[in-house]
Amino acid sequence: MRDGFGRQITYLRLSITDRCDFRCRYCMPEHGVPKLPREAILSVEECVAAVRAAAACGVTKVRITGGEPLVRRGVLDICAGIRAIPEIRELCLTTNGSRLAELAGPLRQAGVDRLNVSLDTLRPDRFAALTRGGRLQDVLDGIAAAEAAGFPLKLNAVLLGGVNDDEIPALAALTWEKPWQVRFIELMPMGPCAAWPAARFVPAEAVLRACPELQPDGFGGVAERYRFPGAPGSVGLIRPLSHRFCGSCDRLRLTADGKLKPCLHSGAEIPVRGLQGAALEAAVAAAVAAKPAAHHLASGSESGRDMNEIGG
């Protein structure tokens, strides 16, 4: 299905929970956010039905996210239900990795094709401070389990000036060892970090300055790809603040409480709860039609929600 600007919409990002076992400083307030009551969250069946309706409208790729999707009971049933929809050719999941050691194998069996694991630092003390209590070793064990289960992996690091930018070379160097893509993401001014000082917001060029050996290697989705000559893995730069990718944006989002969002940064929300069949497909079509030409993130997100609610 095409939107009003001729863009083909083929990608749905599905948030299956607003809850999380970490409290990353840029994403969540210290004491978390008021939890949605369980009945406000889409059930397993509602999640699968929404994806089925999206598939009928042309969606072929789904990414499951959160909050932390692996703290949601039913995550494996949601994955298996989506996998059974013939039009869905690619099923991916983004996780903080804390529960991946036990869940990587079952996720593979449930039909997940690829995983993105968030990893902002390789230093245990820094990791605990940044996530407010997370254990780096759990995530490293999870990454090892995901590798053993046969997942292609992308690691996501948000660039945080004065916090982890000194680790750019160490994070990028992982691609010398492994066929992973290590992606550096510019911090978006949303939620708790909207009021952070300018020095925390590091442009992606900092990666190229820190690793001058990197060579351009085309584009992969929203990432500009680079590679150390001869390395098995690649380095990705993601610049959400630039409008570079709005012109080819192919995505819709569905929040854990059942609202379709035409853009991460738009305030428009189309509810899907209680809808079935043709009415559900009409809601998806309405969300596609409501996609804006571009976001206005430079003047602040108009989303009205934090990242943990929408899923990044």
Compute the distance between CA of residue 220 and CA of residue 193 in angstroms, rounded to an integer.
Answer: 27
In order of 31, 213, 289, the CA distances from 6 in angstroms are 43, 38, 10
> Which residue of this chain has its Cβ atom nearest to ligand SAM in the complex?
312
Residue 28 as a binder of ligand SF4 (CB under 6 A): the answer is yes
CA 60 to chain centre: 17
- Quick one: which segment of 60-68, 134-142, 223-231, 282-290 binds ligand SAM (CB under 6 A)? 60-68
Q: Tell which phi-psi region holds residue 191, choosing left (phi > 0), alpha (psi between -120 and 50) or beta.
A: left
C-alpha pair distances (Å), 45 with each of 72, 75, 81, 92, 230: 14, 11, 8, 19, 46
Nearer to ligand SAM, 3 or 68 (CB): 68
Angle between helices 44-56 and 277-289 (to 10 degrees): 60
User: Which among 51, 110, 301, 62 is positioned nearest to 195, based on CA atoms?
Assistant: 301
Q: Which long-range contacts (CB under 8 A, 24 or more apart) does 246-249 make?
A: 246/293, 246/294, 246/295, 247/5, 247/7, 247/294, 248/7, 249/7, 249/291
Which of 41, 47, 88, 94 is close enough to bind ligand SAM by CB under 6 A? Answer: 94
Indicate whether 23 belongs to the interface with ligand SF4 (CB under 6 A).
Answer: yes
- Among ligand SAM, ligand SF4, none, the one that 23 touches (CB under a kind-dependent 5 to 8 A) is ligand SF4
116: contact with ligand SF4 by CB under 6 A: no
- Tell me the closest approach of the beta carbon of residue 277 to ligand SAM, in angstroms: 30
Chain residues 31-90 in contact with ligand SF4, contact rule CB under 6 A: 66-68
* Range in contact with ligand SAM (rule: CB under 6 A) among 38-46, 173-181, 186-194, 256-264: 186-194
Helices (H) and strands (E) in the chain, counts: 10, 12
Least spacing, CB of residue 185 vs ligand SF4, in Å:
11
Residue 163 interacts with ligand SAM (CB under 6 A)?
Answer: no
Going by DSSP bridges, is the β-strand pair 234-238/270-271 parallel, antiparallel, or unpaired?
unpaired
d(CA 309, CA 185): 19
312 is a contact residue toward ligand SAM (CB under 6 A): yes
| Of the candidate residues 14, 20, 101, 204, the single one contacting ligand SAM (CB under 6 A) | 20
**Which positions from 21 through 50 interact with ligand SAM, judged by CB under 6 A?**
26-27
Counting contacts by CB under 6 A, is residue 257 touching ligand SAM? no
Pair type for strands 11-15 and 215-220: unpaired
CB of 38 to ligand SF4, least distance (A): 18
Q: Give the nearest distance from C-beta 310 to ligand SAM in angstroms.
A: 7
Q: Which of 59, 101, 187, 260 binds ligand SAM (CB under 6 A)?
A: 187
d(CA 30, CA 120): 18
Residue of 10, 156, 234, 266 interacting with ligand SAM (CB under 6 A): 156
131 binds ligand SAM (CB under 6 A): no
